[in-house]
Structure 1
């Protein structure tokens, strides 16, 4: 009998990825371009900006300070702030995002003196064609996926990474769980993806046969709540 589980997992991942692409490449590009710049934003979005800055610093602190000679995948690079910091620390960066529009913004923002250290691509962050890496950083790139999808993603990335995969999830806080259930109950006309909250301990159990997860800490800033984790195959 045909094993349908891998097929269903792939379909679920592809469907979510397509929603994420549609949202960031067509609906929210200008919002994210402004949010990731120093342009004035609303008070609420300022807390999100500050939270993302704190999370980026937390995730980068889990990597070696000197990245010269290291090849790093910035999986879901967005408008490129993490890419710039990785390249400034000497890394050879593969910066990939599902949204071509955001990749274009990241390319325009990259300082000239770092251009020989960064390769940009638009497409699936799990593509084997991207090659092998010393480390992977995936900030808020897996927050829309199910536990099964995350396990499969970490397994795929871990197979091509000799060091760590540092990533984030939306934690299972009362606020986020309430928002999640509300999002499940009402239709979303803008087709924006819905974050799926996860508990670090449960995720660690889900991936125990392919690797280990370490909790790096949580950042809470207004409406921005995110949990940093480290995976090693």
Structure 2
């Protein structure tokens, strides 16, 4: 069982979506992830939203002209995504067992985005497997961008993966380091409890 399932029981989709809706209504920018993705690959590029949740990032990328596929394990999150944008492909799958062919999709993505603390919320000891499976769906030269908390102040669960450990997983999967930021607004990373990392196949 993933840490996310232990934390939520797979029943928090509507509450999660409501939190971001409230932020948007208050004037907060909730599209930093999509904006950074759009700065990395041109419109029309193929994007996999790994751990897509309620679809906030992917729906915005689709609006910007990207060819998107979303995958998540939580049925309550996917139910919200499908209601919000029924015309987009929302797939239910465990990232540790992610097999595009079995889901009827082609593995040639230009970008994989894993926002929303995906890696710290995976099942224990599956991080390397998930990186390997996500790297395998990238075309040569494709990018994976992952943002996650590194300490208790930035996570709803105890920290489970460090940046060196994540970089080691990426290297083992044949990925090379490109850049690292402290926010999805691309502020430079100089240490701290949250990081957004970019690696290339």
Normalised-by-shorter TM-score class: 0.7 to 0.9
Compute the displacement of 1:74 (Å): 1.0
Further displaced range: 100-109 or 211-220: 211-220
What RMSD, in angstroms, separates the aligned Cα atoms of the two structures? 3.3
**Which SS does the other structure have where 1:208 is aligned?**
helix
Does residue 61 of structure 2 align to residue 86 of structure 1? yes
Compute the displacement of 1:136 (Å): 0.9
Larger Rg: 1
**Which SS does the other structure have where 1:164 is aligned?**
strand
Confirm or deny: 8 A CA contact 1:143 1:197 kept in the other structure: yes
Compute the displacement of 1:217 (Å): 0.9
Confirm or deny: 8 A CA contact 2:50 2:114 kept in the other structure: yes
Confirm or deny: 8 A CA contact 2:177 2:200 kept in the other structure: yes
How many aligned residue pairs are there? Answer: 182
Higher helix share: 1
Cross-structure match for 1:136: 112
Does residue 10 of structure 2 align to residue 25 of structure 1? yes
Cross-structure match for 2:177: 213
Residue number among 113, 116, 119 corresponding to 2:89 in the alignment: 119
Cross-structure match for 2:144: 165
* Structure 2: runs of 5 or more not aligned: 185-192
Confirm or deny: 8 A CA contact 2:180 2:197 kept in the other structure: yes
Cα distance in 1, alignment partners of residues 24 and 32 from structure 2: 20
Compute the displacement of 1:149 (Å): 2.7
CA gap 1:146/1:99 in 2 versus in 1, 3 angstroms:
closer
CA gap 1:218/1:202 in 2 versus in 1, 3 angstroms:
same
Higher relative contact order (CA 8 A, sep 6+): 1
Compute the displacement of 1:87 (Å): 0.8
Compute the displacement of 1:161 (Å): 0.6
CA gap 1:31/1:84 in 2 versus in 1, 3 angstroms:
same
Confirm or deny: 8 A CA contact 2:34 2:58 kept in the other structure: no
Cα distance in 2, alignment partners of residues 82 and 165 from structure 1: 15
TM-score, structure 2 as length reference: 0.72
TM-score, structure 1 as length reference: 0.64
Per-residue Cα deviation, 1:34-64 (whole angstroms, up to 9, x for no partner): 11213799xxxx8xx958x365256424422
Q: Residues 53-202 of structure 1 correspond to what in structure 2 (within 5 A)? A: 53=30, 55-57=32-34, 59-64=36-41, 66-68=42-44, 70-110=45-85, 115=87, 118-126=88-96, 127-129=98-100, 130=103, 131-132=106-107, 133-140=109-116, 141-145=118-122, 149-162=126-139, 163-172=142-151, 176=153, 194-196=157-159, 198-202=161-165
Residue number among 188, 194, 199 corresponding to 1:226 in the alignment: 194
Compute the displacement of 1:99 (Å): 1.3
